[in-house]
């Protein structure tokens, strides 16, 4: 008999070649706390180390921009575009490894969703169309997104190379794996999405064409890393600029997307939702469940899984292999240790990321609220 109420969450596993002490992961979370040049800071080191001490099986970094072109989305976002960035991250990786915890770097290109008023005019995206929604004030964004410029085919090649070079720098920094941010409305997802991609070349039109950029980025990163670290990809329907978006072809699109990714061969697929793991397309199943069935490989579910009973059930029912937690991890870096001791983790409070999602605000909130 197991002596825990959460045997699935707490069971050891591995992701590719990386051993994990349990199946609970810190979701990628942008914290706008790097230097103005995108170099990781001491406060970031302490932030990531607190998760490692808290007993998580794996930590994902926040979305980290890939190149010195227009990949950066936010003020004080960290990059992995230069050697200085790499050396800054290396200190964080060492601190996290010092607590026996693996850490994967998430690579992001903002595309049309640049939230930094100094850079909005340089935004590139599949098509020069209005980006829905407003910039996010907690990332220092203010007002509507600008209409981006249509990315040229040469720029598509350069951007893919940017991802591959960034992944190599991440491995040099000591990261255990790479996650490509293919979700939430940023550049890759802009290609996949009908309202942001009205191209009529091989990157637009059919679902196969709109998926081409995802597959080319994934393939280039896999080749660049050459088996030195697992490479996975994050996918969502919802977006920071449209929380309700669903794939128009629903289950049929899911089959096309997850089968195409499978053919390229990621180490895992990470499903992100903004509203919690909900029933999609009235199918009675959530998106991670669909992904796992269609692609058949390691699948991470994320969205509203901070209640350990809920998270345990998702794993127990075989609807995902791992669970990632965002806001709940921010609220309680000790979540796995507490779950293991059958204690209730501290609940998230929106005040932790107000007025800005940076780390100083979270620390101030904790101090003012006696945590």
Residues that bind ligand FMN in the complex, under the rule CB under 6 A: 27-30, 62-63, 106, 181, 183-184, 234, 272, 302-306, 325-328, 353, 357
57 or 226: CB nearest ligand FMN: 57
65 is catalytic: no
Q: Which residue is nearest to ligand FMN (CB)?
A: 326
- What is the DSSP pairing of strand 24-26 with strand 58-65? parallel
Q: How far is the CB of 184 from ligand FMN (least distance, A)?
A: 5
Q: CB-hemisphere CA count at 13 Å for 279?
A: 4
Beta carbon of residue 348, minimum distance to ligand FMN (angstroms, whole number): 7
Q: How far is the CB of 182 from ligand FMN (least distance, A)?
A: 9
Q: CB of residue 352 vs ligand FMN: minimum separation in angstroms?
A: 9
Coil, strand or helix: which one is 108? strand
Q: Say how far apart CA 5 and CA 97 lie, in whole Å.
A: 28
Residue closest to 63 by CA, chosen among 170, 205, 218:
170
How far is residue 268's CA from residue 104's CA, in Å, rounded to a whole number? Answer: 12
The Cβ of residue 142 has, within 10 Å, a number of other Cβ atoms equal to 12
Q: Which is closer to ligand FMN, CB of 27 or CB of 220? A: 27
Across 265-278, b (16+ Cβ under 10 Å) vs e yields: ebbbbbbbbbeebe
Between 10 and 233, CB nearer to ligand FMN:
233
Residue closer to ligand FMN, measured from CB, 76 or 106:
106
Q: Compare residues 98 and 181 and give the one whose CB is closer to ligand FMN.
A: 181
Q: What would the two tokens of residue 332 be? A: 């309680």
Cβ 21 to ligand FMN shortest distance, Å: 20
Please tell me which residue in 186, 203, 268, 356 is annotated as part of the active site: 186
The 10 Å Cβ neighbour count of residue 8 is 20
Torsion of CA 205, 63, 116, 173, to 10 degrees: -120
Annotated catalytic residues are 186
């Amino acid at each position: 008999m197991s002596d825990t109420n959460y045997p699935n969450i707490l069971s050891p596993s591995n992701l590719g070649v990386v051993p994990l002490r349990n199946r609970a992961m810190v979701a990628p979370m942008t914290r706008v706390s790097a230097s103005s040049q995108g170099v990781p800071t001491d406060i970031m080191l302490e932030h990531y180390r607190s998760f490692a001490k808290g007993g998580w099986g794996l930590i994902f970094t926040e979305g980290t921009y890939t190149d010195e072109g227009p990949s950066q989305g936010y003020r004080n976002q960290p990059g992995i575009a230069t050697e200085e960035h790499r050396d800054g991250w290396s200190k964080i990786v060492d601190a996290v490894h010092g607590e026996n915890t693996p850490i994967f770097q998430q690579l992001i290109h903002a595309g049309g969703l640049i939230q930094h008023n100094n850079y909005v005019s340089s935004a590139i995206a599949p098509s020069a169309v209005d980006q829905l929604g407003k910039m996010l004030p907690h990332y220092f964004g203010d007002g509507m997104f600008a209409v981006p410029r249509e990315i040229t085919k040469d720029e598509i090649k350069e951007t893919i190379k940017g991802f591959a070079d960034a992944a190599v720098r991440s491995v040099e920094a000591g990261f255990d794996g790479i996650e490509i941010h293919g979700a939430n409305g940023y550049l890759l997802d802009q290609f996949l999405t009908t309202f942001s991609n009205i191209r009529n070349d091989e990157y637009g039109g059919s679902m196969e064409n709109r998926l081409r950029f995802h597959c080319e980025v994934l393939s280039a990163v896999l080749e660049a890393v050459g088996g030195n670290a697992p490479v996975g990809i994050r996918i969502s329907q919802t977006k920071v600029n449209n929380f309700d978006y669903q794939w128009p072809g629903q289950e049929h699109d899911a089959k096309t997307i997850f089968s195409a990714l499978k053919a390229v061969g990621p180490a895992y697929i990470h499903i992100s939702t903004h509203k919690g793991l909900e029933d999609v397309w009235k199918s009675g199943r959530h998106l991670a469940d669909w992904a796992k069935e269609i692609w058949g490989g390691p699948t991470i579910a994320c969205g509203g899984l901070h209640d350990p009973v809920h998270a345990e059930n998702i794993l127990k029912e075989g609807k995902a292999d791992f669970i990632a937690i965002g806001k709940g991890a921010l609220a309680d870096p000790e979540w796995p240790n507490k779950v293991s001791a059958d204690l209730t983790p501290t609940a998230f409070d929106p005040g932790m990321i107000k007025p800005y999602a940076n780390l100083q605000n979270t620390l101030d909130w904790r101090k003012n609220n006696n945590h």
